Amino acid sequence: MNNKQWQSPFNPFNSWKVMFHSDNLWNIHDWINRKTDSLGPPISVTIDPTNRCNQKCIWCLYKGWKDDPNNQRDIPINKFKELVDHLKNWGVKSICLAGGGEPTMYPYVLELIDYIGISGFDLGFITNGVKLTKDICSSLVKHANFVGFSVDAGNGYTYRDLHGVDKYNEVLNNINNLRLEIDKIMSKTKIGYKYLLHPYNIKPEELLSAFENAKRIGVDDLHFRVVYQKDMLTGSKEIDRDIIRKFNLAFDIINILREAYKTLNVYGISHKYDEEKLVEPRKSFLRCYVAPLALYFGADGNMWLCADTRGYNSSKLGSWFDNGDVSYNIFKIWGSEEHRKLMEDIKIYNCPRCTFSFYNELFEKTFVKDSMMRNLI
Ligand code: SF4
């Protein structure tokens, strides 16, 4: 396989960007190792406005958990605004609205986007795009840096089978409407067509069709990543070899198409996965240092240590919503001995996958072990 991943290394998916936050990384390192009791704010937070969703994707990581009525609450918009105010005063730099569920299902999503934007955060927005109204488009083009659409298909049949709803064309129309709004005001907002590679959607004609459609509707970035499903590898050598061969073939096709569609930024994100077995998460580090670079606020009212372990008891940082004001709830846990203990107790082999795996590897190898001999320039 010759997976190029991207045309230029200067792009938002390049995990080396964590080097910009070296002060934060050293602060986390010293805090975990008890050299300081003061832990600075996360760089970025993710807020799930809701756990409800209007689709039934076959790979949904939160299936079951998000459908449990105990995990579905309608948190009033004023509480979210209080949270945004706190994050601003604390020094957090960016917010991603994602899920959990589908953010456009939250009744006050428009107000939330506007409030975050006016407060001066960098904003990312991840959606399936079905309910992307004209009003939401107008608001996103004013405030969002990035809008990522989970499409995962090159035609309506595959989309229906993977997402459980027949909405492919509607979603493409909505993406195109966003493009028109962006162009109207010459907005900085970038559009991403996200494509999770799954054995069902990696046929050459399907990939070609995704490129063609993405170009036609005015997408900036086309983003391919292998789907994470625990049971993807079966244990049978022959079957597993065939699955891995198919993914390698998909990346070969993507590399060829990248050359043919030069107006699209094409990302084949594979550095978070084992180089040989593309479906297995890469975990080339000994301990987790980087989780406190981010913080997750769930629609169930809970805070979570990390995106990938959201829903696990070992990841729960308590409620940000109940019992008192938001600042009090956050500072009660953030940087506390209890928080540190949760970090110390992380067993990497228990983590399902690690979205921050490369950050962890980079920090351990270059910062802690100085394998680049930083002072010998
Ligand atoms: S998945 Fe595990 S190792 Fe990765 S950031 Fe989360 S807690 Fe840390």
Whether 168 has a pLDDT exceeding 70, the answer reads yes
Whether 2 has a pLDDT exceeding 60, the answer reads no
What is the C-alpha separation between 124 and 122, in angstroms, rounded? 7
Whether 68 has a pLDDT exceeding 90, the answer reads no
Which ligand 1 atom is the nearest neighbour of the CA of 285? 3
Ligand 1 close to Cβ of residue 351 (< 6 A): yes
pLDDT at 274: 76
Ligand 1 close to Cβ of residue 309 (< 6 A): yes
Ligand 1 close to Cβ of residue 94 (< 6 A): no
Please answer whether residues 217 and 172 qualify as being in contact, where contact means their C-beta atoms are separated by less than 8 angstroms. Answer: yes
Please answer whether residues 275 and 290 qualify as being in contact, where contact means their C-beta atoms are separated by less than 8 angstroms. Answer: no
Please answer whether residues 244 and 278 qualify as being in contact, where contact means their C-beta atoms are separated by less than 8 angstroms. Answer: yes
Whether 372 has a pLDDT exceeding 70, the answer reads yes
pLDDT at 129: 98
pLDDT at 1: 44
Give the pTM.
0.94
pLDDT at 271: 77
Q: pLDDT > 70: what percent of the chain?
A: 99
Mean pLDDT of the chain: 92
From 44, 351, 357, 363, mutation site for ligand 1 pocket: most ligand atoms within 8 A of C-beta: 351
Whether 36 has a pLDDT exceeding 90, the answer reads yes
Alpha carbon of 348 to ligand 1 centroid (Å): 7
Please answer whether residues 152 and 195 qualify as being in contact, where contact means their C-beta atoms are separated by less than 8 angstroms. Answer: yes
pLDDT at 238: 87
Ligand 1 close to Cβ of residue 286 (< 6 A): no
Which range is least confidently modeled, 94-98, 230-234, 287-291, 319-323?
A: 230-234
Q: What is the pLDDT of residues 274-316, one digit of tens each?
A: 777 777 778 889 999 999 999 999 988 899 999 888 888 999 9
DSSP codes, 227-241: ---TTSS-S-HHHHH
Which ligand 1 atom is the nearest neighbour of the CA of 352? 1
Decide which of 181 and 74 is more confident: 181
Decide which of 273 and 351 is more confident: 351
Question: What CATH code would you report for 15-188+280-368?
Answer: 3.20.20.70
pLDDT at 3: 56
DSSP codes, 105-139: GSTTHHHHHHHHHHTT-EEEEEE--TT--HHHHHH
49: three-class secondary structure by DSSP:
coil
Q: What is the pLDDT of residues 106-123, one digit of tens each?
A: 999 999 999 999 999 999
Alpha carbon of 308 to ligand 1 centroid (Å): 7
Picking from 92, 102, 91, the residue whose alpha carbon sits closest to that of residue 127 is: 102
